[in-house]
Chain A
Amino acid sequence: MTPADAVIGALTVVFAGLGAFFFLVGTLGLLRLPDFFSRTHAATKCDTVGAGSLLLALALYNGLDADSLKIIAIAGLVLLTSPTSGHALARAAFRTGLVPWRKERAGEEAS
């Protein structure tokens, strides 16, 4: 194993670990956040970064060839489709009359 291989291996581990971490946080957010709209925040942002980070790790591990270009193309696609689908979901919820959660109102209900 050459030093360059070691550096690429280490970077692969770091990016794969970060990807796993952000997917975990996105899932936790989906469970913990109070309403549909704030959950969509967790789903769009954390999943975009999680998927991007994992794909970057795969591309690094694979080395520079046609397959890595494909992986980068997939990452670009995720970057474009993730906010679009998140927006489509939020818009459908908003237009069918789902009222976003507010902190004050939750407080009033408790008192």
Chain B
Amino acid sequence: MRLAEATIALYVFWLVLTGSFAPIDLLVGLLLSAALGVWATRTLWAEDAPTLSLRQAGRLFVYVLWLIKEIVVAAVYVAEKVLDPRMPIEPLVLSHRCSFTRDVSRVAFANSITLTPGTLTVDVADDVFTIHCLAETFADSIASGALERRIAAVFEE
């Protein structure tokens, strides 16, 4: 069933990219999607496939919208610091242990840290995240577990 899901997703992506419904394009796309689907399910996601239920996918969509807002805030924040002649930053490095067990949640958490204001994921070793902050105030949402809870709600972990 996973193979069918992967193939359908890849095929839709192919249709968007080609924008063509000529028989030869449809056939080649189907063959390539199936081949990539086999590779993805047997090798790439052999241990933990990043599949989501429909409800999780819906929550992920809402979460991504929130994340886009956070990225804009983050870029404005960096712009403020960079354009300030005194450049008031006080970087620090901290470690945070998370409770996620699935790879897909960890990837989402690591990338979310990087995209939210003032924080950057430097290293991930199992469940310990090493995070670089531009200033201590930005560590709060991570240290308090607020961001972690948001992602836990999306992936229902």
Confirm or deny: B134 has a beta carbon within 8 angstroms of a beta carbon on chain A. Answer: yes
**Partner of B75 from A37, A46, A83 at Cβ < 8 Å:** A46
Confirm or deny: B115 has a beta carbon within 8 angstroms of a beta carbon on chain A. Answer: yes
A44 vs B117: C-alpha distance when bound (angstroms): 11
Chain A: interface residue total (CB-CB under 8 A): 42
Chain B, 64-111, CB within 8 A of any chain A CB? 64, 68, 71-72, 74-75, 78-79, 81-83, 87, 89-93, 110-111
Task: Report whether B111 and A100 are in contact in the complex, using a CB–CB cutoff of 8 Å.
Answer: no
Task: Report whether B13 and A86 are in contact in the complex, using a CB–CB cutoff of 8 Å.
Answer: no
Shortest beta-carbon distance from A74 to chain B in Å: 10
Shortest beta-carbon distance from A103 to chain B in Å: 5
Q: Given A44-B114, A66-B19, A83-B114 in contact, is the A90-B89 Cβ separation under 8 Å? A: no
Shortest beta-carbon distance from B80 to chain A in Å: 9
Confirm or deny: B156 has a beta carbon within 8 angstroms of a beta carbon on chain A. Answer: no
Task: Report whether B87 and A41 are in contact in the complex, using a CB–CB cutoff of 8 Å.
Answer: no
Task: Report whether A91 and B122 are in contact in the complex, using a CB–CB cutoff of 8 Å.
Answer: yes
Q: Given A37-B91, A94-B123, A103-B90 in contact, is the A45-B115 Cβ separation under 8 Å? A: yes
Chain B: interface residue total (CB-CB under 8 A): 35
A44 vs B72: C-alpha distance when bound (angstroms): 12
Task: Report whether A46 and B16 are in contact in the complex, using a CB–CB cutoff of 8 Å.
Answer: no
Shortest beta-carbon distance from B100 to chain A in Å: 16
Task: Report whether B115 and A25 are in contact in the complex, using a CB–CB cutoff of 8 Å.
Answer: no
The proximity string for A residues 39-79 relative to B, scoring 1 for CB distances below 8 Å and 0 otherwise, is: 01110111011101000000000000011011001000001
Task: Report whether B120 and A70 are in contact in the complex, using a CB–CB cutoff of 8 Å.
Answer: no
Confirm or deny: A14 has a beta carbon within 8 angstroms of a beta carbon on chain B. Answer: no
Task: Report whether A90 and B72 are in contact in the complex, using a CB–CB cutoff of 8 Å.
Answer: no
Apart from the given pairs A66-B16, A73-B16, A87-B120, 11 other A-B contacts in the complex at a CB distance below 8 Å: A21-B79, A37-B122, A37-B132, A40-B120, A73-B13, A79-B64, A83-B121, A86-B114, A87-B111, A94-B123, A103-B91
28 contacts between A and B (CB under 8 A): A25-B78, A28-B82, A29-B78, A37-B120, A40-B120, A41-B118, A41-B132, A41-B134, A45-B71, A45-B75, A46-B78, A49-B72, A52-B68, A70-B17, A73-B13, A79-B64, A79-B115, A83-B115, A87-B114, A87-B120, A87-B121, A87-B122, A91-B122, A91-B124, A94-B123, A100-B91, A101-B91, A102-B92
